[in-house]
Amino acid sequence: MSNKKGIHFEISERKILLRVFDILSALLALELVGYYFQFDYFLVTKEQWIWSLVLAFYLTAFGTVFELYDLKQSSKLDTTFKNIVITVSVTVLFYLFTPIVTPVLPNHRLEIVYFFLSIIAAIFAWRYAYVTFIASPRFYKKVIVLGEVSNIENLVNAFSTSDPNYKIVGYINSNVSSNENVKFKGLKEFSAGNLQKTIREEGISEIVIAINDSETITPYLYNELTHLIEKGFTIREYTQVFEEITKRVPVQFVGKDFYKYFPFSRSNQNKLYMFYHRLMDLICSILGIIIGIILLPFVLMGNLFGNKGKLFYAQTRIGKNGKPFKIYKFRTMVQDAEKDGMKWADKNDARVTIFGRFLRRSRLDEIPQFINVFKGDMSIIGPRPERPFFVKELSKVIPFYETRHTIKPGLSGWAQVNSRYGASIEDSLVKLQYDLYYIKHRSFFLDINIIVKTLSTMVYYRGQ
């Protein structure tokens, strides 16, 4: 078997690549335009290197907020161009109005236009090359799944939506005793007897083992896999790959060896981290309450015409360690919305008022919860608190559901910025997977990531 493998950039490598070449292409374009057109505003000397550093910081920061480094969006030129224009517009605006750390405004205002267009053209040219070459099929990681047919569909769907460059080209059914008519129509099935030939002919670089019971692996297949391992071929277990690519803990696959999946982050007991977390909660909640007071007259006016009724409402939710508390929100539904009993709130819920829909999409309905954060019932970041009725029902059908109550619930969270509205048991399972990932990998940098993604949600009006 040939050891030759195709070139593939992992998720973290692609994100670093995008950031580095965005900055380099922008700086190079500005230097060239400044040199050829003799615009002093573009030329960077050794004494003025700080200008380049500030521009690089602005590009990276605003590019993150405006989803310029989202891999799914970066693989589409139309979406990428829109994000580039928005990012560069805000970057240039901040760059022009922070002359303490950036050059003073040029005498010729035309230079600003060149400055703006040069950055857009340079980044878009690089991104065109990225989509054409690096995001193309030649850089896909080609994978074969070895496992039971019943597991394969979930894996294929999860991987394809999370990483467009991770390509599952086929599967090998490990359950030799199964009915031959049981097939997965979405993928090509390969024979276990020709494993090495398949790897060579298909250019496979990784095998994912998706088997609940390793005892079902035949002695022949075991020897083949052992031989591949000895040659340095990559073979990984599906829960490991699932968590790495989707950033979710696959709780539905967890069995009696559950303790392997829950080595929760040490940050949950780290006193320094918890001090920082509480300090951040207090600072953000005070700022949030002040902003809420400033916006209150406008919300009152909108509520008067668009909601017609009480402005606030309180509801019992489950907090840390299963302790109930009262959550505060601006009312977004009609009064007596649950007169016929409790039910899931869906995406286009008819009970939501016109003004209530605006509050939800802009996330302004959450502002009163800064009071909960200040009191200590909630945190800025954590799993969203659920109602006691739904907690009881979901705990019956979703394993380890109440594990999300090991930390304080949050105003925003990893599940909120990565998934849509939970209107079913299936949606709740996905949100739990994200929540457990946050609890497992909780850190300062993940918190910052969530805050940035929350800003993106608000900017693009994607609240629920």
Asked if 130 and 156 sit in the same domain, the reply is no
253 — pLDDT class (breaks 50, 70, 90): confident
Mean pLDDT computed over 381-387: 93
**Which residue from 140, 135, 129, 108 is spatially nearest to 38, judged by alpha carbons?**
108
Tell the burial category of 177 from Cβ atoms under 10 Å away from its Cβ (0-12, 13-18, 19+). exposed
- Residue 88 has a CB neighbour count (10 Å cut-off) of 29
Asked if 310 and 398 sit in the same domain, the reply is yes
- Give the model confidence (pLDDT) of 404-433 as tens digits: 999 999 999 999 888 876 667 888 888 999
Prediction pTM value: 0.80
Residue 156, pLDDT score: 78
- Give the model confidence (pLDDT) of 99-110 as tens digits: 888 877 777 778
What percent of the chain has a predicted confidence (pLDDT) above 70?
A: 86
Q: What is the DSSP letter of 178?
A: S
- Residue 72 has a CB neighbour count (10 Å cut-off) of 12
| Spatial separation of the C-alpha atoms in residues 363 and 361, rounded to whole Å | 5
348 — pLDDT class (breaks 50, 70, 90): low
C-alpha torsion 314→435→455→418, nearest 10: -120
Q: What is the DSSP letter of 369?
A: H
Asked if 292 and 426 sit in the same domain, the reply is yes
Best-predicted range by mean pLDDT among 12-21, 163-172, 453-462? 12-21
Domain membership flag for residue 340: yes
**Which residue from 5, 12, 8 is spatially nearest to 135, judged by alpha carbons?**
8
Helix, coil or strand: residue 135: coil
Which of 134, 160, 195 is the C-terminal boundary of a domain?
A: 134
What percent of the chain has a predicted confidence (pLDDT) above 90?
A: 33
Best-predicted range by mean pLDDT among 119-123, 132-136, 358-362, 393-397? 119-123
Q: Give the torsion sign (CA, 32, 35, 39, 42).
A: positive
Domain membership flag for residue 314: yes
| Residue whose token pair is 């022009």 | 96
Best-predicted range by mean pLDDT among 80-89, 127-136, 201-210, 347-356? 80-89
Which of 102, 134, 166 is the C-terminal boundary of a domain?
A: 134
Here the CATH number for the domain that contains residue 227 is 3.40.50.720
Asked if 113 and 207 sit in the same domain, the reply is no
Average pLDDT, the chain: 84
Asked if 195 and 278 sit in the same domain, the reply is no
User: Considering just the CA atoms, what is the radius of gyration of the chain in Å?
Assistant: 26
**Token pair in block for residue 234:** 């990559």
| Spatial separation of the C-alpha atoms in residues 202 and 194, rounded to whole Å | 12
User: Does the pLDDT of residue 26 top 90, yes or no?
Assistant: yes
Asked if 355 and 408 sit in the same domain, the reply is yes
Residue 414, pLDDT score: 93
Asked if 287 and 210 sit in the same domain, the reply is no
| Spatial separation of the C-alpha atoms in residues 187 and 170, rounded to whole Å | 5
Which of 134, 162, 180 is the C-terminal boundary of a domain?
A: 134
**Which residue from 93, 142, 113, 138 is spatially nearest to 39, judged by alpha carbons?**
113
| Spatial separation of the C-alpha atoms in residues 118 and 31, rounded to whole Å | 10
User: b/e per residue, 361-386, with b = 16+ CB within 10 A?
Assistant: bebbbbbbbbbbbbeebbbbbbbbbb
Query: What pairs with residue 234 in β-bridges?
Result: 206
- Residue 287 has a CB neighbour count (10 Å cut-off) of 11
Domain membership flag for residue 286: yes
Asked if 322 and 381 sit in the same domain, the reply is yes
Q: Which domain holds residue 237?
A: 140-246
Domain membership flag for residue 257: no
Domain membership flag for residue 281: yes
Asked if 328 and 344 sit in the same domain, the reply is yes
181 — pLDDT class (breaks 50, 70, 90): very low
- Residue 161 has a CB neighbour count (10 Å cut-off) of 11
Domain membership flag for residue 317: yes
Domain membership flag for residue 347: yes
Asked if 179 and 110 sit in the same domain, the reply is no
Helix, coil or strand: residue 412: strand
User: Does the pLDDT of residue 219 top 50, yes or no?
Assistant: yes
| Spatial separation of the C-alpha atoms in residues 128 and 116, rounded to whole Å | 18
User: b/e per residue, 314-348, with b = 16+ CB within 10 A?
Assistant: eeebbbbeeeebebbbbbbbeeebeeeeeeebeee
Please state, in angstroms and as integers, the Cα–Cα distance from residue 346 to each residue in 317, 394, 412, 417, following that order. 19, 17, 19, 17
Query: What pairs with residue 236 in β-bridges?
Result: 208
Asked if 116 and 147 sit in the same domain, the reply is no
Asked if 120 and 149 sit in the same domain, the reply is no
C-alpha count within 13 angstroms, C-beta hemisphere, residue 100? 1
- Give the model confidence (pLDDT) of 188-210 as tens digits: 888 888 888 889 888 898 998 88
User: Does the pLDDT of residue 177 top 60, yes or no?
Assistant: no
* Helix or strand holding residue 24 (H, E): helix 11-37
| Spatial separation of the C-alpha atoms in residues 66 and 89, rounded to whole Å | 11
Which of residues 408 and 455 earns the better pLDDT score?
Answer: 408
Domain count, the chain: 3
Domain membership flag for residue 122: yes
